[in-house]
Amino acid sequence: MIKVSVIVPVYNVADYLAKCLDSLVNQTLKELEIIVVNDGSLDNSSKIIDKYVKKYPAKIKAFNKKNGGQGSARNYGLKHAQGEYIAFVDSDDYIDLDMFTKMYNKAKEDDSDVVICGMNNISLTNKISIDNNNFPNKDLKILLGSMGVCNKIFKKDLIIKNNLQFRCNVWYEDIDFLVKILLDNIKISFIDDALYNYVLRTGSTMNNSNIVKNTDILLSFDEMIKYFKSRKIYDNIYEKLEFLAIYHIYIAGICRVILAKDKRKNKIKIINKLRDYLSNNFPNYQNNSYLQYMSSNKKIIYKLLNLKWYNIIKIILVVKKKIK
């Protein structure tokens, strides 16, 4: 029986791929399949994949497809996954060798639908900041934790039952996939240990300065609103979804635009679009009860955003980045 299927989308990551695959083929959990989806890479990634398939034929299944983006590659991998649980690892990251042993054991111990572990965020200078789940209750662990899929395992039956897929050719392709799961009435377990190593690199999607792509997150929230309304649970999860919109559209999204290299008038146009979306869909967002639980830094940025003091925010973010 395959306990965990790990899906690894690959696109032009030849400099990082071997380290990622080494961390997977050497996992202490043996009932593991590694599904590598080469999403039309133009560098030497395919040669590296072939090398690992030849060396570990019982562990790695490799597939080649035309480039369609990370969401498309993950969907492709899901079609071929046979494990009881599903995991996603980005091909420029790597994981601790006992990550899936710990996470699978926790899932079975608690009979969980999802297990979430902490993360190490690793900068280009190899400085590490820990993003763990050290919050006082389940709701805060979800709302203030990572909104990526890579530090989690998901019961495959849960994904199939809800017909969940990643959106394609967009940024933020995983946030609506994840929120649809996490805000539903399911059993979630947490491991505070940072087992996933997220490598911050300049070529990654979220470090791209294409400011218009930051509005892709609005499509994600459109999809979430539609999904929860169709399930008739929108009112029940409204305040949580509202907070996620504040956190990811208003704070993170606008800050990303502020730091981008573009003309001020272009940035203001995108910023206003993000602000308008929040106001139109969550008109009373300033009364959200979860705002009090944000970190001090986030609260400062939030207040400055309300005042539209974008230049001050930029100075703070640049200084903070240099200190890191």
Q: Do 186 and 225 have their domain in common? A: no
Q: Calculate the average pLDDT of the chain.
A: 93
Band (34; pLDDT cuts 50, 70, 90): very high
The total number of residues shown for the chain amounts to 324
Beta bridge partners of 39: 65
Q: Do 53 and 161 have their domain in common? A: yes
**Domain holding 91: CATH number?**
3.90.550.10
The pLDDT tens digits of the residues spanning 147-176 come to 999 999 999 999 999 999 999 888 888 999
Q: Do 196 and 214 have their domain in common? A: no
Q: Do 190 and 220 have their domain in common? A: no
Q: Do 44 and 163 have their domain in common? A: yes
Sequence-separated (6 or more) residues with CB below 8 Å from residue 254? 271, 274, 275, 305
> Whole-prediction pTM value?
0.92
Q: Do 48 and 139 have their domain in common? A: yes
Number of domains in the chain: 2
* Cα 88 to Cα 74: distance, rounded to the nearest angstrom: 8
DSSP state of 247: I
Domain end among 163, 184, 203? 203
DSSP calls for 44-89: THHHHHHHHHHH-TTTEEEEEE----HHHHHHHHHHH--SSEEEE-
Confidence at residue 169, expressed as pLDDT on a 0 to 100 scale:
82
Residue 175 belongs to domain spanning = 4-203
Distances (CA, A) of 9 to 90, 197, 199, 200, 307: 6, 16, 15, 17, 41
Do the Cβ atoms of 195 and 99 come closer than 8 Å?
A: yes
Q: Do 57 and 140 have their domain in common? A: yes
* Cα 101 to Cα 160: distance, rounded to the nearest angstrom: 23
Q: Do 111 and 168 have their domain in common? A: yes
